[in-house]
Amino acid sequence: MADLPKPSAVVFAKDVARVAAFYEQVARLAVVHADADHMVLDGERSQLVVHAIPAHIAARIEITAPPEVREGMPVKLCLPVPSLAAARAAAARLGGALEAKEEEWQARGFRACDGYDPEGNVVQFRESAA
């Protein structure tokens, strides 16, 4: 199975560079490709693609500060991080957020906390519970 590509998820964004920077720094992913309409971020076992929302649709989208959280989405990313505390600090600095430490929960060997990126997309970050 080594010849299969890495699993990947796509996040559609109005501001590709800003959203990609959020995931690059908070989830410690590496940019491996960037062009006018998308950026590919690489992790050890998966990739995240931040893809531009078509201009005619993006023109009708307003991103507030803080962004309106898009909780009704049918998919939520779950990304590993070395530290939820460090991810919380980085997220706040980059226009997103993680919920308070009191909202963290634990299961199956990890501790998790939900948050959102700079455009309000809900994402869960997970650190090892060990």
Q: What is the CATH number of the domain that holds 47?
A: 3.10.180.10
In a domain, 3, yes or no: no
Please write the tens of the pLDDT for every residue from 10-53: 999 999 999 999 999 999 999 999 999 999 999 999 999 999 99
Q: Distance between CA atoms of 86 and 34, rounded to whole angstroms? A: 26
Q: Distance between CA atoms of 20 and 33, rounded to whole angstroms? A: 11
In a domain, 1, yes or no: no
Q: Which segments within 57-103 are labelled E, that is strand?
A: 77-80, 97-98
Total domains in the chain come to 1
Domain enclosing residue 124, as ranges: 8-58+67-128
Q: Which of 65, 108, 103 is nearest to 84 (CA)?
A: 103
pTM of the model: 0.89
Question: Could you tell me if 88 and 104 are in contact, meaning their C-beta atoms sit under 8 angstroms apart?
Answer: no
In a domain, 73, yes or no: yes
Taking each helix axis as running N to C, give the angle between helix 84-93 and helix 16-26, from 0 to 180 degrees, rounded to the nearest 10: 160
In a domain, 2, yes or no: no
Q: Which segments within 43-80 are labelled E, that is strand?
A: 47-52, 77-80
In a domain, 39, yes or no: yes
pLDDT beyond 90 at 74 = no
